[in-house]
Structure 1
């Protein structure tokens, strides 16, 4: 294996999670007796450019031609996208003559707000079933993968974009340099690119091992993201720390000729990363023991509940949850079933661990003793939605960043839940890079 950013062969092991199935390959009933392929899930660090990465063992075509993830099922995520669009329109002065393109636009959760603002836009979404959902919402969407050829065709037909949005996709591309050139091809020479991606600082310092799965090919600090974007002549001029996905970064980049000097927030986060040891290979050595500690802690908790005769079920069937379940070896003897709001997953089973997935109403009907929430990064939203579990004396438990019980008596109403905060818990959540650097996450 060579580094997909700089071609170096100096890759060192950071975290070996064993072999697992692809995280979004949910099994139908008639697949339960068939062989299930698994692939190594081994995170490595390039000692030259400091890009965290896994081998590209599955192709995007295998994962994204038909996809199980629909972003609009998370209400807080839709509100997050709406706030971003409002902010971008104001910051960049976008109007009816502007053009916005989103790469990996999913079901239109973000661009529907651009449409509502009266701004011309186009989504590029490879998953046919998800793109169809976007078009049903009135969001112009092309069902194709973004590469240099498709970017050139989009630009030829629609013109250059004033803003290109690449939220939660920059980790999903094995051809990192080619995809970065495709993003630049879409942009006007004075245009803007925004990228939201999980911050590797939180992955490493908080042991967020479940963010590692096969469709996430690389994991970024601001430093490594700068180096990746520079391969296509793009300069990071601003960065924001976000609470989403357990702590993300929002990068604002421009073509070099229009960029100017990076802002102070870029310099500040780079200083904080360096102070946390993330600009040196030795700073990544704590991830494996942190992940093992979470695994042991969670298994001790579930085994104790089983010994007490308590009924434990899950909430959510996210891709990251399948990394957690497989790494920890959690099967239906410890987690009877899980539920999910996405009807696509109902009646299916989690990959590898074969845990059945039901509609959310099953929890209200069964009234289990413990509900283990797998999408722990949505703690504020889900604690608000599930506060009624306390009505029958049930407990709501989150596995990361440490196993902890939510305070349901203090949970805000679901309508008031803000994904940028972490209500209902005494454990650190959100963008906890600030816990290691003393900075506020904004």
Structure 2
């Protein structure tokens, strides 16, 4: 990539390189053999030293992800978020527009229950929950959101924090189709360029650390919450390439530890299945060189993924019912936020869950 997706400057530095991997959102039919072309897509992250935006370096894939099932954790967090925003007085007016995420889920019903009407232009509230990261041209995406807001309106923008990604070593947050990874530091600059000012923010435990911010066109001064997040990011070094580059070490260690654990389980005669055919697992499975000998299958709640396989591997994707019928010794959970939901839904597997990365 030649120029930053956010500010257009060319001062980019590579901070994470995962080499050639499968496309993160293309799940082939299980009968299709794995081929070399499947593993031909570069996956790397670059950091702009001008604006601080972390971003997908290049993407030659075509979005083709089967529709997933929205986890309960996301639905619960959405309800909590709207309650907190409303309590703070930031649900303005009575009309709303939502920039959706390709992964599904919507906050519109929550706003409709409060009397909001969905409109296509000049809304009082513009919602974006994990949507804007899917835009290749970040600068244009921010401008589009700014121009849409009605005078006196508010943009509610939710994102998975880059601070969380780096601090917790969530290197596999990097995936094809996800073009940007945000710190509040970078967002203040990018939103400012399109005439928006961040007024306040709320923090949530989702994905280890998610932030929802409120931005307006008025010349407001941000509150103490924003000051605290910015100070924490500055102390951590969120715009320092050397700090972000620690993701490379964490990625290599994660792959080594997962492969070692699976081989140990196999040597001990214990069967291991997975749960969660998530796009975040694609690069992990590929880099670890996993196959059905080590991980027999991955269950997923989405019927659209059944009878397919994990990209770059021969590991089939099965239904939860098939997982229970297989009665495995261990179950690798690829999405930690699902633990409470799956533990409650499948008590038969109590004591067998192994949360990836923990």
TM-score by length of 1: 0.75
1:260-279 aligned within 5 A: 260-279=220-239
Residue 40 of structure 2 is matched in structure 1 by 38
Residue 156 of structure 2 is matched in structure 1 by 194
The answer to whether the Cα contact below 8 Å between 1:237 and 1:260 also exists between their aligned partners in 2 is yes
The answer to whether the Cα contact below 8 Å between 1:205 and 1:286 also exists between their aligned partners in 2 is no
Q: Report whether the alignment pairs 1:180 with 2:142.
A: yes
Distance 1:398 1:120 in 2: 40
Residue 75 of structure 1 is matched in structure 2 by 72
Q: Deviations over 1:302-335 (max 9, x none)?
A: 1100111110000011111112212222221211
Q: Deviations over 1:259-317 (max 9, x none)?
A: 41011111111111111122333322322112211111111111100111110000011
Q: Deviations over 1:397-432 (max 9, x none)?
A: 0112x3xxxxxxxxxxxxxxxxxxxxxxxxxxxxxx
Q: Report whether the alignment pairs 1:207 with 2:205.
A: no
Matched position secondary structure for 1:68: coil
Over 3 Å counting, the alpha-carbon distance change for 1:329 and 1:291 in structure 2 is same
| Aligned length, in residue pairs | 355
Q: Report whether the alignment pairs 1:99 with 2:98.
A: no
Distance 1:22 1:162 in 2: 37
Distance 2:8 2:239 in 1: 19
- How far does residue 94 in structure 1 lie from its aligned partner after superposition? 4.8
- How far does residue 67 in structure 1 lie from its aligned partner after superposition? 4.3
The answer to whether the Cα contact below 8 Å between 1:94 and 1:119 also exists between their aligned partners in 2 is no
Residue 24 of structure 1 is matched in structure 2 by 25
Unpaired runs of 5+ in structure 2? Answer: none
Equivalent in 349, 354, 358 of residue 397 of structure 1: 354
Q: Deviations over 1:130-151 (max 9, x none)?
A: xxxxxxxxxxxxxxxxxxxxxx
1:33-432 aligned within 5 A: 35-36=37-38, 38-58=40-60, 62-63=62-63, 67-72=65-70, 74-92=71-89, 94=91, 98-104=94-100, 107=104, 109-122=106-119, 154-155=120-121, 160-255=122-217, 258-390=218-350, 395-400=352-357, 402=358
Matched position secondary structure for 1:238: strand
- How far does residue 210 in structure 1 lie from its aligned partner after superposition? 1.2
Matched position secondary structure for 1:14: strand
Distance 2:209 2:271 in 1: 31
The answer to whether the Cα contact below 8 Å between 2:69 and 2:301 also exists between their aligned partners in 1 is no
Matched position secondary structure for 2:151: strand
Matched position secondary structure for 2:38: coil
Distance 1:364 1:117 in 2: 40
- How far does residue 87 in structure 1 lie from its aligned partner after superposition? 3.3
Residue 425 of structure 1 is matched in structure 2 by none
- How far does residue 30 in structure 1 lie from its aligned partner after superposition? 5.2
- How far does residue 33 in structure 1 lie from its aligned partner after superposition? 6.2
TM-score by length of 2: 0.92
Distance 1:298 1:33 in 2: 22
Distance 1:318 1:274 in 2: 32
The answer to whether the Cα contact below 8 Å between 2:55 and 2:179 also exists between their aligned partners in 1 is yes
Which structure has the higher relative contact order (CA within 8 Å, separation 6+)?
A: 2
Unpaired runs of 5+ in structure 1? Answer: 123-153, 403-442
The answer to whether the Cα contact below 8 Å between 1:111 and 1:121 also exists between their aligned partners in 2 is yes
The answer to whether the Cα contact below 8 Å between 2:69 and 2:302 also exists between their aligned partners in 1 is no
Q: Deviations over 1:375-417 (max 9, x none)?
A: 1233333333344313xxx5210112x3xxxxxxxxxxxxxxx
Matched position secondary structure for 1:190: coil
Distance 1:213 1:94 in 2: 33
Distance 2:73 2:245 in 1: 34
Indicate the RMSD between aligned Cα atoms, in angstroms.
2.1
Distance 1:114 1:225 in 2: 25
Distance 2:129 2:29 in 1: 30
Matched position secondary structure for 2:132: coil
The answer to whether the Cα contact below 8 Å between 2:49 and 2:239 also exists between their aligned partners in 1 is no
